[in-house]
């Protein structure tokens, strides 16, 4: 099983949801007395920090902590940039051509696992340097998509438009997660009710606003049985 996880925008909480899904899958398998290998991949990441071992991205490190496959960092995050800006702009700054062909090569080299989650960067239409989008690579791979909706003002429009784009690309939305990123969002229940009706895919869970952003706690609010 292999899924691509995207969000309604950059701050939707994709990594929290992705890491929580990996932990929830591990827990579900354990409860079923099964052994299942889980793998998280962050093909492209901006906002990385220089370390003695090279560039490291907090999103990729979160996935590594949540999965149970033992792979090196470069496998999880093969394309990384230090500036915390759009990847295609960061790539130009360092003289790297972030093309669809290079990203497709990354997808082809992903190791085998029973459950693989590939986390995008930004929203669905992430630009690449050759005039294409990351979504076109996902489309070519024919991956089912998990959508993370960052629950805040404006999310209804973002969610509906993202769903329309994914479906227009001929891909299936395997499920979606409502992630409360704004503790002060007004009419939360009414907004959630709209999304439940508007998004034509199973709701995997509603993650409340978590001040400590604990991945383990977030996993408790998810039902991943439909993904397995």
- Dihedrals phi, psi of 103, to nearest 5 degrees: -70, -40
Marked catalytic residue, from 2, 14, 34, 42: 42
Written as six digits, the tokens of 169 are 């690309």
Written as six digits, the tokens of 33 are 């007395």
End-to-end CA distance of the chain: 7
Active site residue 132: no
Burial of 167 (0-12, 13-18, 19+ CB in 10 A): middle
Q: Ramachandran region of residue 96, left (φ > 0), alpha (ψ -120 to 50) or beta?
A: beta
Distance between CA atoms of residues 52 and 17, nearest Å:
29
Beta bridge partner(s), residue 7: 148
Pairing assessment for the beta strands 49-51 and 54-56 based on DSSP bridges: antiparallel
- Point out the residues that are catalytic: 42
């Amino acid at each position: 099983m292999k899924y691509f996880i995207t969000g309604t925008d950059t701050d939707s909480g994709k990594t929290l949801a992705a890491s929580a899904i990996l932990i929830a899958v591990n827990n579900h398998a354990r409860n079923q007395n099964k052994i299942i290998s889980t793998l998280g991949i962050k093909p492209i990441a901006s906002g990385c920090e220089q370390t003695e071992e090279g560039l490291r991205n907090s999103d990729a490190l979160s996935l590594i902590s949540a999965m149970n496959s033992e792979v090196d960092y470069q496998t999880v995050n093969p394309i990384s940039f230090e500036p915390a800006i759009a990847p295609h702009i960061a790539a130009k700054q360092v003289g790297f051509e972030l093309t669809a062909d290079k990203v497709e090569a990354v997808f082809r080299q992903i190791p085998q696992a029973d459950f693989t989650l590939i986390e995008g960067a930004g929203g669905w239409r992430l630009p690449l340097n050759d005039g294409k989008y990351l979504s076109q690579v996902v489309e070519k791979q024919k991956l089912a998509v998990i959508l993370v909706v960052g629950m805040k003002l404006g999310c209804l429009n973002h969610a509906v438009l993202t769903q329309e784009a994914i479906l227009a690309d001929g891909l299936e939305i395997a499920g979606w997660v409502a992630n409360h990123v704004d503790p002060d969002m007004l009419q939360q229940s009414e907004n959630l009710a709209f999304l439940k009706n508007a998004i034509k895919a199973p709701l995997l869970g509603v993650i409340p606003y978590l001040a400590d952003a604990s991945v383990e706690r977030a996993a408790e609010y998810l039902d991943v049985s439909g993904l397995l």
